[in-house]
Amino acid sequence: MTNNQTSKWFDEYHKGVRYGLQGEILIDLKSEYQQITVFNSRRYGRALLLNGCWMTAELQEKNYHECLVHPALSSALQIKKGLIIGGGDGGTARECLRYQDIEQLDLVEIDEKVIEISQKYLPIIGGSAWKDPRLKINIQDGIEWTENTKENTYDFIIVDGSDPAGPAEGLFNESFFRNCKRSLRAGGIFAMQSESPESFLTIHLDTVRTIRKVFKYADPLYGWVPMYPSGWWSWTFAAMEGAHYLKPLPQRVDAISQDCKIWSAQWQKGAFQAIPAFIERALKASN
Amino acid sequence: MTNNQTSKWFDEYHKGVRYGLQGEILIDLKSEYQQITVFNSRRYGRALLLNGCWMTAELQEKNYHECLVHPALSSALQIKKGLIIGGGDGGTARECLRYQDIEQLDLVEIDEKVIEISQKYLPIIGGSAWKDPRLKINIQDGIEWTENTKENTYDFIIVDGSDPAGPAEGLFNESFFRNCKRSLRAGGIFAMQSESPESFLTIHLDTVRTIRKVFKYADPLYGWVPMYPSGWWSWTFAAMEGAHYLKPLPQRVDAISQDCKIWSAQWQKGAFQAIPAFIERALKASN
């Protein structure tokens, strides 16, 4: 303990653990769906919290967004038309729009306030995405959106939601995954943040198992987001014809790698392989 | 923020970030070298802190010890005689002694109090190691020990020290690495915890670079220890003849895998490959 204790801290509490950043609250409001807070942290710049949980921060967001986007977009057969469910901070859209092949990117966010606050207080995270004519913002429930999407509409679908409590709960259900699969074109890839294998073990395993059941081919990949519970995070990728998310296309890799903080084709290969023994055993047992 | 705030928390502070566990202090004393605290945490069982920094906990220690020990011991040419510098909690010794090939394991810990407190309050971590006749405990400075070690003494050397401040500082120096190299037999492997690539970036890079300079072959591997700053940790492995730490021997893998929480031959392969792009670039630039 140090005398830093007297400074201002904002902590996220999770099962007897807390992770706190020093700084001050910039804005704190309640939207129709959740509590939205922007915090100016000394260490990671401005950060967004939803219902008191750290979602992203200017100097930490690439650890999350690159790992969610690039394994999918570097390897899908084509990437002309894509869908993001959630992702109201704009970081996922920004990473997607780095690919010139994209012609249309639908972003479906349930909470307009998240977009509004992110654009105003965290403009760096969405960056040029907000002004990109390829981005179509839809304020709607992502579950409803996929229910109403026609077959074979998207080349990729990325689910960038929060923990399965509150508005994101239905994003972890089999019926939602089935609608995503139906909406996906041949050669398409589905990508989803799939929680911490440490702090949300059951949800993590259930998510991987359910996605695998629906899509047939699905694998988790492991990385680090220090501000999330345990710092240890996962993203799960799925495809219908084979595990082609394991094989990034060299041309896209070349176009993207240089400006990545975490992601590279080598990193991706390792991150899929680095499945901890206890997770590997648990997933094998359920096959 | 929740009303958990009124419970008892112990936090480690690091550059505007804090990581806290809920529970109560069992013992808190000052040894000749450092402040030693044992904390009974609600989430991870009993935990050890040195100078207010989380070192290990009953339900988190395998994330660290398996990743430090098995890449080295599964791949060294022979593993009859080994050295651990630090490691006073006994966890590294316990993982090493799972290999039947080991005939003698020297543990050189500068602070007798760490061993005493660990044996008394955290007996699960050292486990059967403390009673294993192959373990020889030496209360001595590890730097002095390696200065006085004859050439070609050890099949493996594992450095299990704390951050490079206080008693562990000299364990990050080139002269120490040179003595380790001199003490290592042909086909031997050197292993060292090499800090967080996120929270201790400069130390991490300098450590990898210096070890690589001394041993010629050295590579970092990345994993997760949620209670350490950022949760993102690294261990660096080195050898003199080639990167044979990349090639675990099947017989040893078979003997060890079943009882591992994190480590498997596949995990190890992935963890060496999953080098984040910014680290890969920084290390390449210094070659």
At residue B3, the pLDDT reads 43
CB A261 within 8 A of CB A66: yes
Pick the last residue of a domain from B24, B41, B57: B57
Q: Is residue B2 part of a domain?
A: no
Q: Write out chain B residues lying below 8 Å of A200, CB-based.
A: none
Do A15 and A129 share a domain, yes or no? Answer: no
The contacts found for B50-55 with CB under 8 angstroms, 24 or more apart, are B50/B114, B50/B162, B51/B162, B51/B165, B51/B166, B52/A1, B52/A2, B52/B12, B52/B13, B53/B12, B53/B162, B53/B163, B54/B12, B54/B19, B54/B21, B54/B227, B54/B228, B55/B89, B55/B162
Which whole number is the average pLDDT over A228-249? 97
Q: Write out chain B residues lying below 8 Å of A274, CB-based.
A: 222-223, 267, 270-271, 273-274
Q: Is residue A65 predicted with pLDDT exceeding 80?
A: yes
At residue A164, the pLDDT reads 77
Q: Domain containing B50 — which CATH number?
A: 2.30.140.10
Do B108 and B50 share a domain, yes or no? Answer: no
Cross-strand pairs, B29: B36
Q: Is residue A244 predicted with pLDDT exceeding 90?
A: yes
Q: Domain containing A260 — which CATH number?
A: 3.40.50.150
Answer yes or no: B111 catalytic.
no
At residue B6, the pLDDT reads 52
Do A202 and A98 share a domain, yes or no? Answer: yes
Q: What are phi and psi of A24, to 5 degrees?
A: -145, 150
Longest Cα pair distance anywhere in chain B, in angstroms? Answer: 59
- DSSP element (H, E) containing B267: helix B265-273
At residue A283, the pLDDT reads 96
CB A252 within 8 A of CB A73: yes
At residue B20, the pLDDT reads 98
At residue B151, the pLDDT reads 97
Judge residue A284's burial from the number of C-beta atoms within 10 Å of its C-beta, 0-12 exposed, 13-18 middle, 19 or more buried.
exposed
C-alpha span between B178 and B175 (Å, rounded): 5
Nearest alpha-carbon partner for B29 in B103, B121, B107, B105: B121
CB A149 within 8 A of CB A82: no
Sequence length of chain B is: 287
Q: What are phi and psi of B2, to 5 degrees?
A: -130, 175
Beta-strand relationship, A184-193 and A154-160: parallel
Catalytic member of A141, A155, A160, A163: A160
The three-state secondary structure class of A265 is helix
Do B12 and B133 share a domain, yes or no? Answer: no
Of A16, A21, A277, the CB nearest to B16: A21
CA distances from A214 to A1, A82, A190, A204, B150 (A): 48, 20, 11, 16, 61
Based on the structure, what is the number of domains in chain B? 2
At residue B287, the pLDDT reads 65
Q: Is residue B1 part of a domain?
A: no
Do B30 and B108 share a domain, yes or no? Answer: no
> Closest-CA residue in chain B for A49?
B1
Do B113 and B87 share a domain, yes or no? Answer: yes
CB contact under 8 A, A13 and B1: yes
- DSSP element (H, E) containing A192: strand A184-193
Q: Is residue A123 predicted with pLDDT exceeding 80?
A: yes
C-alpha span between B237 and A123 (Å, rounded): 41
Domain encompassing residue B90: 61-285
At residue A261, the pLDDT reads 98
Q: In the sheet that B232-239 helps form, which strands lie side by side, from edge to edge?
A: B135-139, B104-109, B81-86, B154-160, B184-193, B232-239, B217-224
Q: Write out chain B residues lying below 8 Å of A277, CB-based.
A: 257, 260-264, 267
- pLDDT per residue as tens, chain B (287 positions): 444 445 699 999 999 999 999 999 999 999 999 999 999 999 999 999 999 999 999 999 999 999 999 999 999 999 999 999 999 999 999 999 999 999 999 999 999 999 999 999 999 999 999 999 999 999 999 999 999 999 999 999 999 998 777 777 778 899 999 999 999 999 999 999 999 999 999 999 999 999 999 999 999 999 999 999 999 999 999 999 999 999 999 999 999 999 999 999 999 999 999 999 999 999 999 76
> Closest-CA residue in chain A for B10?
A1
Q: Write out chain B residues lying below 8 Å of A5, CB-based.
A: 11
The three-state secondary structure class of A102 is coil
Mean pLDDT of chain B: 95
Do B90 and B191 share a domain, yes or no? Answer: yes
Q: Residue A183 contacts by C-beta under 8 Å, 6 or more apart in sequence?
A: A83, A146, A149, A150, A151, A152, A153, A154, A157
Do A102 and A14 share a domain, yes or no? Answer: no
At residue A287, the pLDDT reads 65
Do A143 and A252 share a domain, yes or no? Answer: yes
At residue A119, the pLDDT reads 98
Q: Is residue A67 predicted with pLDDT exceeding 80?
A: yes
A151 to chain B nearest CA, in Å?
36
Mean pLDDT of chain A: 95
Q: Is residue B218 part of a domain?
A: yes
Beta-strand relationship, B104-109 and B135-139: parallel
Do A33 and A108 share a domain, yes or no? Answer: no
Q: Residue B5 contacts by C-beta under 8 Å, 6 or more apart in sequence?
A: A11
At residue B286, the pLDDT reads 78
CB A84 within 8 A of CB A160: yes
CA distances from B210 to A255, B201, B203 (A): 33, 14, 10
Q: Which of B59, B267, B279, B280 is best to mutate for the A interface (most A CBs within 10 A)?
A: B267
CB contact under 8 A, B273 and A267: yes
Q: Is residue B3 part of a domain?
A: no
Do B203 and B250 share a domain, yes or no? Answer: yes
Catalytic member of B106, B141, B160, B163: B160
Of B18, B262, B277, the CB nearest to A20: B18
Nearest alpha-carbon partner for B83 in B75, A155, B72, A283: B72
At residue B220, the pLDDT reads 98
Q: Write out chain B residues lying below 8 Å of A221, CB-based.
A: none
Do B50 and B65 share a domain, yes or no? Answer: no
At residue A85, the pLDDT reads 97
